[in-house]
Amino acid sequence: MQLGAVLPHNEIGTDPGAMKAYAQGLESLGISHVLLYDHVLGADPDRPGGFSGPYDKDIQFHEPLTTFAFIAAVTERLEMVTTILILPQRQTVLVAKQAAQVALLSGNRLRLGVGTGWNKVEYDGLNVPWTGKGARQEEQVELLRMLWREDSINYQGKFHHIDRAGINPRPSQPVPLWFGGGAPALLSRAARLGDGWMPLGSPNAASAEAIEVLRKEREAAGLPWDGFGIQAQAMYAGGDPERWAGHAEKWRALGATHLAIRTDSAGLADVDAHLQAVQNYLEAVS
């Protein structure tokens, strides 16, 4: 099980020196991958009817693909993972182009985790329909792989029409596509189309059941289970070495291939404190 870290998006700030120090610090600790969340817009709660959600306009999110372009330039081994990119609210061809460029310039260190999101405010602001986002995502995944693989494509889908065109340059190998979420339709989509799954929950009975669903769906589709990844996360805040180790062992027993520690919301003051927390976690679970 590979160990990673989640970029503390709302606490790392906007100093490029701090971002560089964090990424290089993770690499020096032996961390294999860094996760980055995606939100384009934060809603202002001061609106008619109010607003309720996990975050609003006052929570900072760094745009994943442009941030990873920066991190790629200052690291050598660190795998960069979107967890998750809200794919249906983005233009598919542009995502293909940007992801290809990050993959090329990083030596194929990009892993694209995708999801459908929950915040209608973002979809509205990006002028993308809220309805049909699951079907749109499924078509997008097919189209992304075609654009990364083929010189010129002729694609006529429900949401996309491309008449003999392609992106250039293309990545030297396909960008891995993993799915986030836990709804039944999403699990089916992840099993059939994905290279891995990114659960949101704990290593409990529900997660075990979801993994079994994925396994059976892949078997029914004639797809191998070997090589299908599971990217879990752990919280530093509120834990201790014994709890971290026990939590990691439960994920390992369920078959998780990757586990990343979140150090946000732990009252840590700066990049050095976040890196020290990552080191504390590694020492507990390694």
User: Does residue 202 form part of some domain?
Assistant: no
In a domain, 275, yes or no: yes
- Say if 1 falls within a structural domain: yes
Instruction: Give the confidence band of 104 by pLDDT, cuts at 50, 70, 90.
Output: very high
Enclosing domain of residue 267: 1-29+228-286
Decide if 55 is inside a domain: yes
Between CA 171 and CA 246 the distance in angstroms is 39
What is the pLDDT, as a whole number, of residue 60?
A: 96
Task: With cut-offs at 50, 70 and 90, classify the pLDDT of residue 156.
Answer: very high
Higher-confidence residue of 7 and 54: namely 7
pLDDT at 257 over 90: yes
Q: Is 116's pLDDT higher than 90?
A: yes
Handedness of CA 159, 162, 166, 167 (dihedral sign): negative
Assess if residue 199 is contained within a domain: no
- Choosing from 143, 160, 175, the residue where a domain stops is 175
Predicted TM-score (pTM) of this structure: 0.95
Over residues 170-189, the pLDDT tens digits come to: 999 999 999 999 999 999 99
On whether both 45 and 69 belong to a single domain, the answer is yes
Predicted pLDDT of residue 53: 87
- 175: tokens are 């960008």
Count of the separate structural domains present in the chain: 2
Over 90: is that where the pLDDT of 129 sits? Answer: yes
Q: At 242, is the pLDDT very low, low, confident or very high (cuts 50, 70, 90)? A: very high
How large is the angle between the packed helices 241-254 and 271-285, nearest 10 degrees? 60
Q: What letters, b where the CB count within 10 A reaches 16 and e where it falls short, cover 163-184?
A: eeebbeebbeebbbbbbbbbee
Average pLDDT, the chain: 97
Q: 130 and 55: one domain?
A: yes
Residues 2 and 55 in one domain: no
pLDDT band at 122 (very low <50, low <70, confident <90, very high): very high
Q: What are phi and psi of 3, to 5 degrees?
A: -105, 130
- Give yes or no: residues 165 and 255 share one domain: no
